[in-house]
């Protein structure tokens, strides 16, 4: 029975990420019902496992403390927020991240679990790449059945509404693929098998790199380059990559970056954000900020102004878009929902207190992952851990110029990686895993089931309300007054 529950938890964890990916990266709440429901199924399966199986274990990780503290702090800030609806949405996302993290950390600690999730993430990346390359090649501006903004014309975004967010997901998958290629030294049955396996891995990596190019995401390209250098350094420090491989990899990375910069399309795209003037005069800046970065600078200044006026506890979850209005430049006519810098938005909404808790969780992740990479007894553990380190580094770097960690598909993938690292403990000799006694096991099993029911009660009506609201808005834009009123009346239903 326990094995069946574990297999169910593994399958549902993969399906959660897949559902969020398919439905526009999860960014559109009106289409969030499938992955909301799957998170409830995950919690229910966890609860029934603990209630019905006599022998279950709990793993300790230093990540648990800051993650739990931040989730509790978010709940407190939600109840004190001046803008309830947006704070409810943000608090729900934080709660889901926390629950998925603990479900994975507690239950998925076998090599099979890491193989399956890594393989699923890679397959998702390959599928997204295929769709993105088709969009890039044909200039199609549809994402499944929706039309996306013409601002993204000529860029591949897969099932993501914004191509930058697909780039973040591809960075994450690419990091896992490269780590497996460089670290894996498992013997093959024959030389032919080894060569074929390496060729398949290299072909898959090249295909995802093409997908990354199709996104035309400058932040994604730069974050990927930085993450690849990090992979080689981390591999050398943890002795998971030999010095010769690290040096060869560094040379290949430098040549690859140089080769990419020699491609006119890449160089022109990068110069749309930052242009370097080799003939600058003394006292002038040699760097000119243009294009996409220039558009983000007012948002960052607004976020810094919000932090200055609300430094300790912030403005409340999900409220940056409303408080930023006070600091917006007079010539700015856009109304962004996100600051395009997850760190600044985090501190603006949660204050320095919330920012420190998140940074503490990230620091604990890096510490535990480095410990595992150094002391793991299997090649599989080392490859996965170094890959997870690199994947998280890539998405964190990219999130300094975008809002990738507000995308459910991306933050759920990060939650699963955090959980898989936490599930391994420190090393084989100090696993930090202990069996749960009968009474706490039964109580917590009931708690997880109740949380699953509560999540269903909160999240599904929320998705229905968002869907009715969007339909009413579209009808209003089309001057269909009766249809707009009909959809608006749906919001008055006691079940929404």
Over the stretch 118-143, which tens digit does the pLDDT of each residue have? 999 999 999 999 999 999 999 888 88
Looking at per-residue confidence, does 368 or 291 come out higher?
Answer: 368
Cα distance between residue 147 and residue 194, in whole Å? 44
CA distance 346 to 359: 11
- Copy the structure tokens of residue 429: 């000799």
Given a contact cutoff of 8 angstroms between Cβ atoms, the answer to whether 397 and 227 are in contact is yes
CA distances from 139 to 142, 147, 157, 299, 447 (A): 9, 12, 11, 29, 49
Side-chain half-sphere of 197: how many Cα atoms within 13 Å? 15
Confidence at residue 280, expressed as pLDDT on a 0 to 100 scale? 43
Reduce the DSSP state of residue 281 to 3 states and report it: coil
Dihedral-angle region of residue 395 (phi above 0 means left; psi in -120 to 50 means alpha; beta otherwise)? alpha
**pLDDT top residue among 16 and 444:** 16
Supply the pLDDT for residue 211.
93
Q: Each residue of 211-268: pLDDT tens digit?
A: 999 998 888 888 998 998 898 888 888 888 777 777 777 777 777 777 666 667 665 6
Place of tokens 């998140």: 358
Given a cut of 60, whether residue 354 has pLDDT beyond it is: yes
Instruction: Tell which wins on pLDDT, 282 or 446.
Output: 446
C-beta separation of 314 from 348 below 8 A: yes
Per the listing, tokens 């580094």 go with: 393
Give the CA angle between residues 397, 177, 417 to the nearest 5°. Answer: 60
**What's the N-to-C CA distance of the chain in angstroms?**
37
Q: Whole-angstrom Cα distance, residue 254 to residue 40?
A: 46
Predicted local confidence at residue 463, as pLDDT: 75
d(CA 401, CA 353): 22
What one-character-per-residue DSSP string does 210-257 give? HHHHHHT-HHHHHHHHHHHHHHHHHHHHTTSS-HHHHHHHHHHHHHHH
- Res. 390: pLDDT tops 60: yes
Averaged pLDDT for residues 155-181 = 91
With a cut of 60, say whether residue 101 has pLDDT above it. Answer: yes
pLDDT over 90 (residue 207): yes
- Percent of the chain exceeding pLDDT 90 equals 34
The tens digit of pLDDT for each residue in 51-86 reads 888 888 888 889 999 999 999 999 999 998 888 888
Q: Write down the pTM of the prediction.
A: 0.87
How far is 136 from 154, CA to CA, in rounded Å?
5
Two tokens, residue 464: 């229905």
The first and second tokens of residue 442, run together, are 């039964």
- pLDDT for position 81: 86
Cα 444–366–407 angle (5° rounding)?
A: 70
| Predicted confidence (pLDDT) at residue 285 exceeds the cutoff of 50 | no
Coil, helix or strand at residue 319: coil
150 exposed, middle or buried (CB, 10 Å; 0-12, 13-18, 19+)?
exposed
* 430-488 residue pLDDT tens: 567 777 788 877 888 888 888 888 888 887 777 777 777 777 766 766 666 666 666 56
Least confident of 209-223, 328-342, 348-362: 328-342
* In the predicted structure, residue 282 carries a pLDDT above the cut 60: no
If you write DSSP's letter for every residue of 58-123 in order, what string do you get? EE--TTHHHHHHHHHHHHHHHHT-SSHHHHHHHHHHHHHHHHHHHHHHHH--SHHHHHHHHHHHHH
Query: Tell me, what DSSP letter sits at residue 377?
Result: S
Rounded to an integer, the average pLDDT of 293-312 is 84
SS3 478: coil
Average pLDDT, the chain: 83
pLDDT of residue 186: 61
What's the average model confidence in pLDDT over 266-274?
60
Token digits of residue 446: 């009931």
Section 24-48 average pLDDT? 88
Please give the pLDDT value at position 488: 66
Closest listed residue to residue 272, CA positions, set 296, 287, 291: 291
State how far the Cα of 295 lies from the Cα of 338, in Å rounded to an integer: 13
User: Whole-angstrom Cα distance, residue 47 to residue 65?
Assistant: 21
The torsion angles phi and psi of 317, rounded to 5 degrees, stand at -55, 130
Confidence of residue 283 (pLDDT cuts 50, 70, 90): very low
């Amino acid at each position: 029975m326990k094995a069946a529950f574990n297999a169910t938890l593994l399958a549902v964890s993969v399906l959660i990420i897949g559902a969020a990916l398919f439905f526009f990266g999860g960014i559109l709440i009106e289409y969030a019902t499938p992955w909301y429901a799957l998170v409830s199924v995950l919690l229910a399966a966890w609860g029934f496992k603990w209630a019905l199986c006599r022998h279950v274990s709990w793993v300790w990780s230093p990540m648990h403390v800051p993650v739990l503290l931040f989730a509790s702090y978010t709940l407190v800030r939600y109840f004190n927020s001046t803008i309830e609806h947006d704070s409810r949405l943000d608090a729900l996302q934080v709660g889901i991240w926390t629950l998925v993290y603990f479900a994975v950390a507690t239950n998925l600690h076998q090599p099979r679990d890491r193989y399956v999730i890594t393989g699923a993430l890679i397959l998702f990346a390959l599928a997204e790449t295929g769709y993105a390359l088709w969009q890039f090649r044909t200039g199609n501006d549809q994402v499944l059945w929706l039309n996306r903004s013409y601002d993204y014309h000529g860029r591949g975004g897969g099932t993501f509404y914004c191509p930058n967010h697909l780039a973040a997901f591809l960075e994450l998958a690419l990091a896992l693929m490269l780590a497996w290629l460089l670290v894996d030294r498992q013997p093959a049955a024959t030389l032919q098998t080894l060569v074929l396996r390496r060729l398949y891995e290299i072909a898959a990596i090249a295909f995802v790199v093409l997908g990354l190019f199709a996104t035309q995401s400058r932040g994604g390209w730069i974050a990927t380059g930085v993450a690849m250098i990090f992979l080689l350094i981390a591999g050398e420090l943890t002795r998971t990559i030999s010095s010769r491989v690290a040096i060869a990899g560094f040379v290949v990375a430098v040549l690859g970056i140089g080769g990419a910069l020699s491609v006119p399309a890449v160089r022109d795209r990068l110069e749309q954000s930052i242009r370097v003037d080799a003939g600058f005069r003394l006292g002038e800046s040699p760097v000119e900020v243009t294009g996409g970065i220039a558009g983000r600078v007012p948002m960052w200044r607004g976020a810094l102004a919000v932090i200055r006026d609300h430094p300790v506890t912030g403005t409340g979850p999900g409220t940056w878009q409303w408080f930023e209005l006070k600091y917006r430049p007079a010539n700015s006519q856009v109304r962004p929902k996100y600051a395009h810098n997850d760190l600044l938005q985090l501190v603006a909404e949660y204050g320095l207190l919330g920012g420190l808790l998140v940074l503490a969780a990230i620091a604990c992740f890096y510490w535990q992952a480095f410990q595992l990479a150094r002391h793991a007894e299997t090649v599989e553990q080392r490859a996965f851990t170094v890959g997870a380190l690199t994947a998280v580094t890539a998405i964190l770097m990219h999130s300094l110029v975008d809002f990738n960690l507000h995308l459910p598909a991306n933050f759920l993938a990060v939650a699963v990686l955090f959980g898989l690292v936490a599930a391994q403990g420190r090393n084989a000799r100090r696993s930090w895993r202990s069996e749960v006694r009968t009474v706490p096991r039964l109580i917590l099993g009931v708690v997880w089931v109740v949380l699953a029911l509560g999540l269903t009660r909160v999240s599904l009506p929320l998705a229905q309300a968002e869907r009715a609201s969007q339909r009413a808005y579209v009808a209003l834009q089309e001057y269909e007054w009766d249809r707009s009123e009909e959809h608006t009346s749906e919001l008055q239903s006691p079940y929404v």
